[in-house]
């Protein structure tokens, strides 16, 4: 008999029956499952910050026969090589911030024999009652009179499923595939300028030509001021502010966005000092402004703090800062916006960033959005703050 660690080369590949289509973006439920590392683990709490949950049908045991025709069932064979592949990539995954969890319907006692024999150090969770399967509607298969989970791998961040691999084939390559996916996902977007240029090349007014509704509501009726628009994009807010009589500077990393801003300003018949610059890395405030706006400049924590500190520096004493952005809750409850939690903002983060200002407003605001003929709601966050004189 072939060793369980080895994988036959002629296994029938499983097909995607759509059984995992619903899992993307699902929040893992609170559920304690017994673990081979001792005690129980709450599935909702896994991750550091990533978790890889690989769900598998059944590992064999050297002293017991596998169900009849096991190798003929697409997707059945290969649980041991898959587990070995995660064992061998555990250090690499840990460096990427990911914890590994195996899950199957066998008992902890059954799984314990496997982890000892294979020297597996990460927890394998037992779900004989298929509690997780019911909560998440996981796909199952019948074999040898048993109901087993079909093999799938979920990559989870903050309790939310960010990526699903299904079917998983061949199983012994699964851990390497997860490493590759995580590397690409975590790698800083190499070139923000190139990616924003690409988006703007495809759409001359990606966010429309009208100002953002909250910016307009917060700043209409002001007597002429010096205004700075950080991350001005294609200039919809800058041009509207210039049309209100303000002297406006608009800065954005995308030269394509800036070119579109100039075109919009010319079409409306106003002048805006648009400049293409990376406001996080290549710009220092050299003038004072009465108003600084930030409209959906969504950056990860470190860059966000730097951009916000510069916004504060650029404000004249008594000046007003207005920020609107996608709220953290938008991911679960709203529509549109980036799907990455690390670039969404919460009230507490913004309270910290702007602590030295006199914060007048820091709250969630809702925005109606039409999607495919339906009215949906986006969850934004609005800050209005004054620099103390």
Ligand X SMILES: C[S@@+](CC[C@H](N)C(=O)[O-])C[C@H]1O[C@@H](n2cnc3c(N)ncnc32)[C@H](O)[C@@H]1O
Which residues contact ligand X (rule: CB under 6 A)? Answer: 192, 196, 207, 212, 231-233, 236-237, 252-254, 257, 278-280, 295-297
Tell me, what DSSP letter sits at residue 150?
P
Q: Report which of 241, 211, 209 is spatially closest to residue 226, judged by C-alpha positions.
A: 241
Q: How far is the CB of 199 from ligand X (least distance, A)?
A: 8
CB of 24 to ligand X, least distance (A): 23
Report the b/e string of 21-34 with b at 16+ CB within 10 A. Answer: eebeebebeebebb
Q: Among residues 133 and 231, whose Cβ is nearest to ligand X?
A: 231
Minimum CB separation from ligand X for residue 135, in Å?
35
- Per 3-state DSSP, what percentage of the chain is helix, strand, and coil (rounded to 5)? 30, 30, 40
Give the helix ranges, DSSP H, for the chain. 79-88, 90-95, 108-118, 131-136, 174-186, 192-202, 213-219, 236-243, 255-268, 301-314, 330-333, 347-353
In the complex, minimum distance from the CB of residue 84 to ligand X, in angstroms, rounded to a whole number: 42
The nearer residue to ligand X, 82 or 328, going by C-beta atoms, is: 328
Q: Looking at beta carbons, which residue is closest to ligand X?
A: 233
Of 143 and 216, the one with the shorter C-beta distance to ligand X is 216
At closest approach, how far in Å is the CB of 338 from ligand X?
8
Greatest Cα pair distance in the chain: 85
Q: Angle at CA 236, nearest 5°, toward 230 and 237?
A: 50
C-alpha dist (Å) from residue 88 to 4, 92, 99, 232: 16, 9, 13, 47
Q: Which two tokens stand for residue 65?
A: 């026969």
Toward ligand X, which CB reaches closer, 231 or 319? 231
- Give the shortest CB-257-to-ligand X separation in angstroms: 5
* CB 231 to ligand X: min, Å: 3
- Read off the tokens for 350: 């913004």
> Do 143 and 73 touch, CB atoms closer than 8 A?
yes
CA atoms 223, 228, 231, 232: torsion sign: positive
- CB of residue 141 vs ligand X: minimum separation in angstroms? 44
For tokens 């993307």, the residue is 24
Question: Which residues, other chains included, contact 268 with Cβ-Cβ below 8 Å and sequence gap of 6+?
Answer: 239, 242, 243
277 and 254 Cβ atoms separated by less than 8 Å: no
Cis peptide preceding 199, ω within 30 of 0: no
CA–CA distance, 335 with 88 (Å, rounded to integer): 40
Considering the complex, what minimum distance in angstroms separates the CB of residue 215 from ligand X?
8
Shortest Cβ distance from residue 261 to ligand X (Å)? 9
* Separation of alpha carbons 272 and 19, rounded Å: 53
End-to-end CA distance of the chain: 82
């Amino acid at each position: 008999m072939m060793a369980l660690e080895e994988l036959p080369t002629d296994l029938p590949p499983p097909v995607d029956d759509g059984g995992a289509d619903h899992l993307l973006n699902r929040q893992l439920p609170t559920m304690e499952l017994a673990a081979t590392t001792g005690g129980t683990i709450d599935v909702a709490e896994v991750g550091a910050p990533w978790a890889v949950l690989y769900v598998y049908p059944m590992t064999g045991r050297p002293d017991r026969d596998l169900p009849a025709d096991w190798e003929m069932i697409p997707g059945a064979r290969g649980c041991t090589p898959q587990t070995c592949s995660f064992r061998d990539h555990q250090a690499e995954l840990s460096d990427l911030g990911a914890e590994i969890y195996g899950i199957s319907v066998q008992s902890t006692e059954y799984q314990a024999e496997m982890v000892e024999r294979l020297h597996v150090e990460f927890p394998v969770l037992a779900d004989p009652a298929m509690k997780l399967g019911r909560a998440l509607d996981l796909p199952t298969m019948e074999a040898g009179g048993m109901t087993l989970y079909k093999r799938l791998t979920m990559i989870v961040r903050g309790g939310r499923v960010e990526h699903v691999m299904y079917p998983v084939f061949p199983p012994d390559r699964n851990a390497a595939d997860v490493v590759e996916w995580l590397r690409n996902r975590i790698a800083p977007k190499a070139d923000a300028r190139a990616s924003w240029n690409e988006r703007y090349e495809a759409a001359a007014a990606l966010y429309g030509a009208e100002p953002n509704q909250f910016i307009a509501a917060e700043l209409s009726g002001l007597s002429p001021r010096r205004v700075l628009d950080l991350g001005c994009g294609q200039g919809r807010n800058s041009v509207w502010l210039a049309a209100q009589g303000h002297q406006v500077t608009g800065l954005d990393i995308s030269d394509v966005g800036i070119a579109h801003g100039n075109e919009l300003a010319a079409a409306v018949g106003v002048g805006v000092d648009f400049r293409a610059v990376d406001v996080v890395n290549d710009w220092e405030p050299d003038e004072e402004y009465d108003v600084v706006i930030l409209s959906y400049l969504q950056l990860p924590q470190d860059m966000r703090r730097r951009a916000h500190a510069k916004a504060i520096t650029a404000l004249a004493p008594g000046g007003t800062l207005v920020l609107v952005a996608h709220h953290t809750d938008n991911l679960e409850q709203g529509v549109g916006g980036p799907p990455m939690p690390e670039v969404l903002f919460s009230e507490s983060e913004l309270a910290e960033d702007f602590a030295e200002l006199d914060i007048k407003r820091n709250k969630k605001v809702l925005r109606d959005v039409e999607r495919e003929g339906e009215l949906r709601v986006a969850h934004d966050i609005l800050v209005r703050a004054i620099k103390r004189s």
